[in-house]
Amino acid sequence: MRESVTAYVALGANLDDPVASVRKAMDDLAALDGITLLKRSFLYRSAPLASNGPDYINAVVEVATRLSAPALLSALQEIEQQAGRERPYPNAPRTLDLDLLIYGSATIDSVALVVPHPRMFQRAFVLLPLFEIAPQFVTDAQLQAVHAQAITRIDGSSRKW
């Protein structure tokens, strides 16, 4: 049996009921064989970045998994498909988006998967929830670099960097 690896997954949605979609995706991920959900960030609302459409709801989860990185990616894509994910063009509004941010200490650079996620440090909607549950992965300088991106925690607290 494969040894467990700690991984971090970003979740986002801005179509239909994005709050329900992100929460359901967390539950769907937790229900998969070979995955244990360890931590969930709060939900955050942010404006689309390099995109259009309604605001996004975002979060990050920490999981322990016995799945390989490609198998975990495949599981994430299956959850997206079950949620009605379509990819008509880059950065299109979506019912659900799941991104593998970090997979243990692995560095992966393949056609199908790049880990750590190549744009995670450019996005407040990834960095703030990741910082909430795994501050060791986010530096003050990285947070400062996305300070102009507005983000609001769903429970009502807000932070304009």
Instruction: Render pLDDT for 24-51 as a digit per residue (tens, 0 to 9).
Output: 999 999 999 999 999 999 999 998 877 7
Q: List, by residue number, the catalytic residues.
A: 85, 94, 97, 99
> What fold characterizes domain 5-160?
Alpha-Beta Plaits (3.30.70)
What pLDDT is attached to residue 17? Answer: 94
Q: Are the beta carbons of 44 and 152 closer than 8 angstroms?
A: yes
Quote the CA–CA distance of 26 and 129 in Å, as a whole number.
14
pTM reported for the whole predicted model: 0.92
Instruction: Render pLDDT for 73-119 as a digit per residue (tens, 0 to 9).
Output: 999 999 999 998 776 666 667 899 999 999 999 999 999 999 999 89
pLDDT band at 13 (very low <50, low <70, confident <90, very high): very high
DSSP 8-state code for residue 122: G
Domain locations in the chain as residue ranges: 5-160
Kindly calculate the radius of gyration of the chain based on its CA atoms and give it in whole angstroms: 15
What pLDDT is attached to residue 143? Answer: 95
Instruction: Render pLDDT for 128-161 as a digit per residue (tens, 0 to 9).
Output: 999 999 999 999 999 999 999 989 998 755 544 4
Quote the CA–CA distance of 156 and 148 in Å, as a whole number.
19
